[in-house]
Structure 1
Amino acid sequence: MILQNYTKEFRYNLKLASPIILGMLGHTFVSFVDNAMVGQLGTAELAAVSLGNSFLFIAMSLGIGFSTAITTLVAEADAAGNKQKVKSALKHGLILCTIIGIVVFVGVLLAKPLMYEMKQPEEVVVLAMPYLNLVAASLIPLIMFQAFKQFADGLSQTKYAMWATLLANVVNVIINYFLIFGIWIFPKWGIIGAAIGTLASRIIMLLFIWLLLRYKQKFRAYVTNFDFKSIQKSVLKKIIALGFPSSLQMLFEVAIFTAAIWLSGILGKNAQAANQIALNLSAMTFMVAMGLSVAATIRVGNQKGLQQFSELRRIALSLLFLVLIIDVFFAGMFMLFNDWFPTLYVNEHNIINMVDNEEVIITAAKLLLVAAFFQISDGIQVVGLGILRGLQDVKIPTLITFIAYWIVGFPTSYYLGLHTEYKSTGIWIGLLAGLTTSAILLYIRFNYLSKKLINKQLTHGAS
């Protein structure tokens, strides 16, 4: 019966999280399609997409991290029945997301010359430069889209972002097919074609979700007639106070995976291509945990607004239990199919690139064995962050993620990857160490805070 207290929440948790998961898988599937199609061109092209996206991931983490504050504020205001606060959170969040999108786009362009200083394979850098120009521009519509997505998520209306993302995927696949390979009357632009597909799909994704929300009666009042002349500094400060630590949390995690891409590049283009395969596959399973993390923020935020702290703890534990079960399944899948998954990205029968492709497949298969183990840690830590974000506890978790990834994880990756025979596998063992440290410390933080809130409420009730 005690176990049933948590398992009875699984159905609702999955119902709430499923559209978020599908939407986030859509974002990752854009990368999967790019990688799978570009991988047919050669390992250098696949490594170039990996290197270009490594800059993009860092910039994207800042924007998406800020936008998560919108969900927290909307969920709390919605639970309290305050529609004006809901609209205010969206308006001010949209302003900040637009500014951040432009700033990170410019930042990526200014950071491009760093590629020449990072000891990356020269042919990979040459290919990555023009690719990065276009995908960097896609950051602006992507981060603006996040503002609308997080708003809808905060109202527990998670399906609209899913539809927008699925449409974006269809657009991306079609454009990739024609422009990467030069099908029919279209030019063969290789990885530039992939970049055009990503940019176009993200613009369409933004327009679609805005139109969808605008013409839905229950959202129209929230997404129309914005008075941008009336800006409340207090609301901006609230979003920044919640969003900045969240963006740092995401940055610290994304940056260590980006560092893994760069460290792999030092080992060579094949190691970098193998790293990209393992990273892309891990990202797709991670999106399930990420969806549950957003669900955790919504549900915990609602319970916080209602001041029901015992219920808050029960729901939070149910989400941690659920992600544990799901990620054990994913871990088993990675262990069973570690040799087969890499063949989806590179053509093992390509005679011209046979030696390179075989090395990539063997290396990626080893990395997926390590990835199998960190599925569990990764799931628990991201749901833990979602729970704490719902509690509006962001500063201590930010410190925890920094310690886990940059005091524990990165030094381990650097030493094992570049100074031992483990090489690529050693880099991923460092990732595992960082994620596991984060998962343990975040759970301890949640356990402490939730019990403190319950005890405080019981004490006040007794008095």
Structure 2
Amino acid sequence: MLMLLQYTKEFSYNFKLAAPIILGMLGHTFVSFVDNVMVGQIGTAELAAVSLGNSFMFIAMSVGIGFSTAITPLVAEADSANNFLEGKSSFKHGLFLCTILGVLLFLSVFFAKPLLYLMKQPVEVVELALPYLNLVAFSLIPLVIFQAFKQFSDGLSMTRYPMYATILANIVNVVINYVLIFGKFGFPELGIVGAAYGTLISRFAMVAHLWWLLRNKEKSKAFVTNIKFFVLDKLMLKKLINQGTPNAMQMFFEVAIFTSAIWLSGLLGKNALAANQIALNLSSMTFMVAMGLSVASMIRVGNQKGLGQYLELRRIAFSIFLLATFLGVLFAAFFFVFHEALPKLYLDYDDKINLVDNIEVVSIAAKLMIAAAIFQISDSIQVVVLGALRGLQDVKIPTIITFISYWVIGFPISFYFGKEENYGSFGIWMGLLAGLSTAAVLLFIRFNHLTKKLILSNTKDT
């Protein structure tokens, strides 16, 4: 009992630190949720088109968001050591690299659009997805810039302010979606293109608001003002690139297997694709809770690393792992109990024209929610352990682990069992479950080994 108490006593502080991050990340997912629910009222083909268009976006976003996480542990370590110059340098160079990356990711997605025709997806879905993708691709630029500010703010433990900016973005998105998707107040009815405008404008508003908030706070003002953007230090650039690139690859490998689930679902038809989008959107919301705890893990581990307190580092990290596991169990129970009711939120059962399609979509999505319920625990564990490893600035081995878990183990299972003659959509999600579970086990083994080694080495030195 006493041993358990040394971990559970950290729950309150860890959740307090993570809560604003969680709410901010849920805000990102809520933008997608609003898009899906509003677009779902138009029809299953439109919902499938949003899913297909976002499949390209998810891959690009994973690279941008993953790369930006290199900023947090560097700022956290500098903050704990009261080293302002190192902290500002980490942020400035991170912002510079994220800006360039945002532009490159936009161009990559924009010029990759013809691939949609080569992926054997439903033609009506592809034609709807293309104009949507044009606008949301451009929103990658403000999104990745926002991530640079967010990761810096998290590194200073100022986790509330990205949350405030994301709340504003959601309000802007909901209003613009309502006006432009359905053509209200004299505006044209743009359908899913209206949803794309909402996403684009809300992301610009999000960046501007976060900068303004940080500009007006004493702790962060000096960091985000008087930035000599093009006066660069090669060593810091190299440090961020060496740290950020593996982080980007880790997130890419995980997000890409979920994206492959979208494409594999498309081979089964538009209803399977729409069902996959519903289950993916719902499971993404609970994943954001684990992601928030992952960032808290990265911050606290980074702080303890800066102080050289490795025993305390391990205890704090384990407390976050335990909290994530507990929440994963709760989410698993929630998904299992409401696996039939939740998908119905996305579609209009009063739409007589699309009623048959809507019923089939909900039926498929309900089965996928059972798979999502099962992998809540392993998904939570793998992401918080990965956050702790990033806090230790250990990135190369975890990158190999994520590749093996998702692409050597997970994807082949999805590909084989996801065929129509096998288990279809549920078979695709069996591969996701296998990949996440493997990652959780291997990443935990890595963290356990590394921290024991650091403690032993520190003991010998003293």
> Structure 1 residues 47, 383: closer, same or farther in 2, change over 3 A?
same
- Letter of the aligned partner of 1:136 in structure 2? A
For residues 155-194 of structure 1, the aligned pairs below 5 Å read: 155-194=156-195
3-state secondary structure, aligned to 1:3: helix
Name 2:131's counterpart in structure 1: 130
Q: CA deviation at 1:355?
A: 0.6
Name 1:39's counterpart in structure 2: 40
Name 1:120's counterpart in structure 2: 121
Question: Are the counterparts in 1 of residues 66 and 247 from structure 2 also a CA contact under 8 Å?
Answer: yes
Residues 1:395 and 2:396 aligned together? yes
Cα shift readout 1:387-420 (whole Å, capped 9, x = no counterpart)? 0000000000000000000000000000000164
TM norm structure 1: 0.99
- Letter of the aligned partner of 2:26 in structure 1? L
Cα shift readout 1:228-266 (whole Å, capped 9, x = no counterpart)? 342100000010111000000000000000000000000
Name 2:381's counterpart in structure 1: 380
TM norm structure 2: 0.99
Cα distance in 1 for partners of 2:260, 2:334 equals 26
Cα shift readout 1:348-371 (whole Å, capped 9, x = no counterpart)? 232110110000000000000000
Name 1:360's counterpart in structure 2: 361
Name 1:318's counterpart in structure 2: 319
Q: CA deviation at 1:216?
A: 1.9
Q: CA deviation at 1:458?
A: 1.3
Question: Are the counterparts in 1 of residues 375 and 437 from structure 2 also a CA contact under 8 Å?
Answer: yes
Residues 1:223 and 2:217 aligned together? no
Cα distance in 2 for partners of 1:363, 1:16 equals 37
Q: CA deviation at 1:184?
A: 2.1
Residues 1:202 and 2:208 aligned together? no
Name 1:263's counterpart in structure 2: 264
For residues 433-444 of structure 1, the aligned pairs below 5 Å read: 433-444=434-445
Cα distance in 1 for partners of 2:389, 2:217 equals 32
Residues 1:103 and 2:116 aligned together? no
Cα distance in 2 for partners of 1:300, 1:279 equals 30
Cα distance in 2 for partners of 1:348, 1:456 equals 63
Gaps of 5+ in 2: none
Cα distance in 2 for partners of 1:376, 1:355 equals 34
Question: Are the counterparts in 1 of residues 48 and 277 from structure 2 also a CA contact under 8 Å?
Answer: yes
Name 2:214's counterpart in structure 1: 213
Question: Are the counterparts in 1 of residues 99 and 141 from structure 2 also a CA contact under 8 Å?
Answer: yes
Cα distance in 2 for partners of 1:309, 1:45 equals 51
Q: CA deviation at 1:162?
A: 0.1
Residues 1:8 and 2:3 aligned together? no
- Letter of the aligned partner of 1:199 in structure 2? L
- Letter of the aligned partner of 2:163 in structure 1? M
Cα distance in 1 for partners of 2:180, 2:83 equals 48
- Letter of the aligned partner of 1:143 in structure 2? V
- Letter of the aligned partner of 1:431 in structure 2? L
Cα distance in 1 for partners of 2:49, 2:156 equals 39
Question: Are the counterparts in 1 of residues 268 and 420 from structure 2 also a CA contact under 8 Å?
Answer: no
Cα distance in 1 for partners of 2:67, 2:117 equals 30
- Letter of the aligned partner of 1:313 in structure 2? R
- Which deviates more from structure 2 when the two are superposed, residues 228-237 or residues 251-260? 228-237
Cα shift readout 1:299-357 (whole Å, capped 9, x = no counterpart)? 00000000000000000100000000001000000000000000110112321101100
Cα distance in 2 for partners of 1:400, 1:56 equals 24
Cα distance in 1 for partners of 2:62, 2:184 equals 34
> Structure 1 residues 460, 217: closer, same or farther in 2, change over 3 A?
closer
Cα distance in 2 for partners of 1:219, 1:417 equals 49
Cα distance in 2 for partners of 1:421, 1:337 equals 26
Cα distance in 2 for partners of 1:71, 1:312 equals 16
Name 2:81's counterpart in structure 1: 80
- Letter of the aligned partner of 1:291 in structure 2? G
Name 1:309's counterpart in structure 2: 310
Q: CA deviation at 1:211?
A: 1.1
Cα distance in 1 for partners of 2:229, 2:252 equals 29
Cα distance in 2 for partners of 1:420, 1:266 equals 12
Gaps of 5+ in 1: none
Cα distance in 2 for partners of 1:244, 1:87 equals 20
3-state secondary structure, aligned to 2:258: helix
- Letter of the aligned partner of 2:258 in structure 1? F
3-state secondary structure, aligned to 2:202: helix
3-state secondary structure, aligned to 1:101: helix
Runs of at least 4 residues off by over 2 Å:
none
Cα distance in 2 for partners of 1:140, 1:317 equals 36
- Letter of the aligned partner of 2:18 in structure 1? A
Q: CA deviation at 1:421?
A: 2.7
- Letter of the aligned partner of 2:43 in structure 1? G
Name 2:61's counterpart in structure 1: 60
- Letter of the aligned partner of 1:367 in structure 2? L
- Letter of the aligned partner of 1:103 in structure 2? L
Cα distance in 2 for partners of 1:112, 1:426 equals 28
RMSD: 0.7
Q: CA deviation at 1:280?
A: 0.1
3-state secondary structure, aligned to 2:430: helix
Cα distance in 2 for partners of 1:291, 1:220 equals 24
Q: CA deviation at 1:130?
A: 0.3
- Which deviates more from structure 2 when the two are superposed, residues 23-32 or residues 178-187? 178-187
Cα distance in 1 for partners of 2:338, 2:402 equals 30
Cα shift readout 1:409-461 (whole Å, capped 9, x = no counterpart)? 00000000016431000000000000000000000000100111111111222
Name 2:433's counterpart in structure 1: 432
Cα distance in 1 for partners of 2:420, 2:346 equals 29
Cα distance in 2 for partners of 1:222, 1:452 equals 35
Name 1:148's counterpart in structure 2: 149
Q: CA deviation at 1:225?
A: 0.7
Cα distance in 2 for partners of 1:334, 1:348 equals 21
Cα distance in 1 for partners of 2:262, 2:153 equals 33
- Which deviates more from structure 2 when the two are superposed, residues 178-187 or residues 367-376? 178-187
- Letter of the aligned partner of 1:45 in structure 2? E
- Letter of the aligned partner of 1:35 in structure 2? N
- Letter of the aligned partner of 1:178 in structure 2? V
Q: CA deviation at 1:82?
A: 0.2
- Letter of the aligned partner of 1:27 in structure 2? H
